[in-house]
Structure 1
Amino acid sequence: MQVQTFILISLGLLSLAGAQQKHPATEVKRCSGNKPFPLEVRVHGCVTPPCQIVKGSTQDFEIDFAVDKYITKLTTLVKATTLGIITVPYELPADVAAVCPNLQYGAYCPLYDTEDVSYLFSFPIGEYPEIGVKIEIYLVDQDGETATCFVCDIKVVKGNGGNSVNQLDNLN
């Protein structure tokens, strides 16, 4: 009877570990100005940029970062640079820009000094031309200070009969 119990517990732990499995890390770059860099970034469906992002879809980014002060509010800001010279802010809906409601694994705001957290950023990709874009993603706190920042090169591509993020995820 003890062997059966051991096997059932082992299988349960293995299935739980599988449910927590993360996507592979994506190679991202530092922002200019010595801003805090994330611990890890995972762009679903992409390990080596430029990441192919389907226009008209939503692309998930998991951002693991550490905070170095007490934070009550975080907001996502995105800047997009095309042709290497034109940089514009990428406007996000308020519910998408809000970081605290999208923290993962039981984390919530306020965040305390030295806390490590994971944030799921669901980035809406508009119906833009099919071009390469350098995006800078900033998480900015209640004082306007950058909690973390990174740069990722993407290539906006046309969908294939309604491709979605889930279909992209299945490629890896």
Structure 2
Amino acid sequence: MFRYALGLLLVAAVAQATEFANCDAGKPIDALRVVGCETLPCQFPRGQDIRAEMDFTADSEADFLGPKIRVKALGMWVNYPIGYDDACDGHLLAGSCPLYGGDKATFDIRIPVLSSYPKIPLDVEVTLTDKDENPLTCFFITGQVVD
């Protein structure tokens, strides 16, 4: 019975994984789960937050994880403020800072999609950086703002 339950949990976890692309900078992430999105492009409803969990493995010691969000809409990349500077400060669902090489962690991502945003396609890039803004890990997804 235990094996059956464990198997169901593993299938559910895999089914919730979201496709993503790796960035050129930083180490690739281990996995991504965007709520309501398993295949790209993700649908981002206006007036709701994009909610995601990013699993990654630290390459080296890190006592600071600077979240950098960039969004490309209408051909232009813009930095997207999320209201905090350090993911170590209450935004890790698994792991804790300082992280050491080989430590696994999960970053809890919340990106507001305002009701006033137009219904357009967009690209989202999420990077975690060190104190000197060197990229540690990064992913990229495509999406569409919808009602």
TM-score class, shorter = 0.7 to 0.9
TM superposition shift of 1:73: 0.9
The residue aligned with 1:31 is 23
| Identity of matched residues, % | 29
Residue among 107, 124, 134 paired with 1:145 = 134
Q: Which residue identity lines up with residue 36 of structure 2 in the other structure? A: G
Gaps of 5+ in 1: 1-6, 159-172
Tell me if 1:122 matches 2:110.
yes
* 1:91 is aligned to 2:81: yes
Shift of 1:44: 1.0
Correspondence for 2:47? 56
Query: Which contiguous aligned blocks of 4+ residues in structure 1 show a shift greater than 2 angstroms?
Result: none
Shift of 1:136: 0.8
Counterpart residue identity of residue 106, structure 2: S
Gapped runs of 5+ residues in structure 2? none
| Counterpart position of 1:165 | none
User: 1:162 — aligned with what?
Assistant: none
Matched to 1:48, the amino acid is T
Question: What letter corresponds to residue 82 of structure 1 in structure 2?
Answer: A
More strand by proportion, 1 or 2? 2
The structure with the largest alpha-carbon Rg is 1
Aligned equivalents of 2:103, 2:29: Cα separation in 1: 13
Could you say what the CA RMSD is over the residues aligned between the two structures, in angstroms? Answer: 2.1
- CA distance, structure 1, for counterparts of residue 144 and residue 86 of structure 2: 25
Q: How does 1:103-118 map to 2 (within 5 A)?
A: 103-105=92-94, 107-118=95-106
Is this contact kept in 1: 2:67–2:129, CA < 8 A? yes
Contact 2:69–2:125 (Cα < 8 Å) also in 1: yes
Q: Tell me how far apart the structure 1 counterparts of residues 71 and 146 of structure 2 sit (CA, whole Å).
A: 16
1:62-97 deviation per Cα after TM superposition (whole angstroms, max 9, x unaligned): 1000111110111211111123x2111111112xx5
Kept in 1, the 8 Å contact 2:66–2:133? The answer is no
Q: Measure how far apart 1:126 and its partner are.
A: 2.0
TM-score normalised by the chain length of structure 1: 0.73
